[in-house]
Amino acid sequence: MTISQASVTPGALWAGRGLSALIVLFMILDGVIKLPPLDIVTQTMVQLGWPADPIVSRMLGIIGLVSTALYAVPRTSVLGAILLTFYLGGAIATHARLGSPLFSHTLFGVYLGIILWGGLFLRDRRVRALIPFT
């Protein structure tokens, strides 16, 4: 199947946009709260084994926001999805290292990754051509 044959129906396109919008909104919230030196962010980072340094939380917030911006732009959405997958992988590894509850904490990044790639799959015919489920 060529890329031109892997058409996206209007329903799939809108479903993909909806899933992608959920990820973008969540990641914007996640990134923005890491920018100012909020006490709750610092406390949570310490509980997760990260240093109590606002510079580290800002760096993570900026990485998340830049990756999210790349994901939101159609031309760079695949690169953004790859970068966000790495970002979520770090969160999964952090929770796995701490022995956090599996389904609610450790696998939360997996759930987000499924929504992230599912949204991209539904809205981008290039991704559909690369990953032919049908």
* Tens digits of pLDDT across the chain (134 residues): 444 445 788 999 999 999 999 999 999 999 999 999 899 999 999 999 999 999 999 999 999 999 999 999 999 999 999 999 999 999 999 999 999 999 999 999 999 999 999 999 999 988 998 888 76
Q: Give the residue from 49, 20, 19, 45 showing the smallest Cα distance to 33.
A: 45
Inter-axis angle of helices 10-32 and 54-72, to 10 degrees?
160
Q: Which pLDDT score, from 0 to 100, does residue 7 have?
A: 77
Spans of all domains in the chain: 8-130
Cα separation, 118 vs 123, in Å, equals: 9
Count CB atoms within 10 A of the CB of residue 117. Answer: 20
Q: Which pLDDT score, from 0 to 100, does residue 132 have?
A: 81
